[in-house]
């Protein structure tokens, strides 16, 4: 089963994504806010970490850089934000994520993008 960790400071967004992806066969864990994400990754061992950009205390770029610096990485990072596509694409260009998804698009599109990302063999380094 594919495992995904959703990191977002909005509890409702986490719940909606968890319910939607769960119905589609994903095993989903959530982390409401950026704090505790490293422990969740170690415990849950996701194949994808879906990361919001705008979070209080520790923004998405800082979290993405922290995740990139982890010694053993067996997961991919996907940015999930309402920020403009250009800002989200910067994460991909900087090597901090392998994809992005704009929150106000359909959840069906999210599932399709995650399937594409999860089928790619290379993990960003």
pLDDT digits (tens, 9 = 90+) for 10-44: 999 999 899 989 988 999 999 999 999 999 999 99
Residue 124 in domain: no
Q: Using CA atoms, how far apart are residues 120 and 101, in angstroms rounded to an integer? A: 17
pLDDT for res 115:
80
Nearest to 59 by CA among 86, 29, 96: 96
How many domains are contained in the chain? 1
Residue 32 in domain: yes
Residue 47 in domain: yes
Domain that holds residue 85: 3-117
Q: Are 100 and 88 within 8 A, CB to CB?
A: yes
CATH value at residue 79: 3.40.50.2300
Residue 112 in domain: yes
Arithmetic mean of pLDDT, 69-78:
79
Residue 12 in domain: yes
């Amino acid at each position: 089963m594919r495992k995904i960790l959703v990191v977002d400071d909005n509890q409702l967004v986490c719940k909606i994504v968890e319910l939607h992806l769960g119905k589609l066969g994903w095993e989903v864990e959530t982390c409401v806010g950026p704090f505790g994400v490293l422990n969740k990754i170690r415990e849950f061992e996701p194949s994808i970490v879906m990361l919001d950009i705008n979070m209080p205390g520790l923004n998405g770029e800082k979290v993405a850089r922290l995740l990139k610096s982890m010694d053993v990485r067996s997961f991919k990072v996907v940015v999930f934000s309402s920020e403009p596509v250009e800002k989200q694409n910067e994460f991909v260009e900087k090597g901090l994520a392998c994809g992005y998804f704009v929150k106000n698009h359909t959840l069906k599109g999210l599932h399709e993008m995650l399937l594409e990302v999860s089928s790619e063999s290379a993990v960003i380094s």
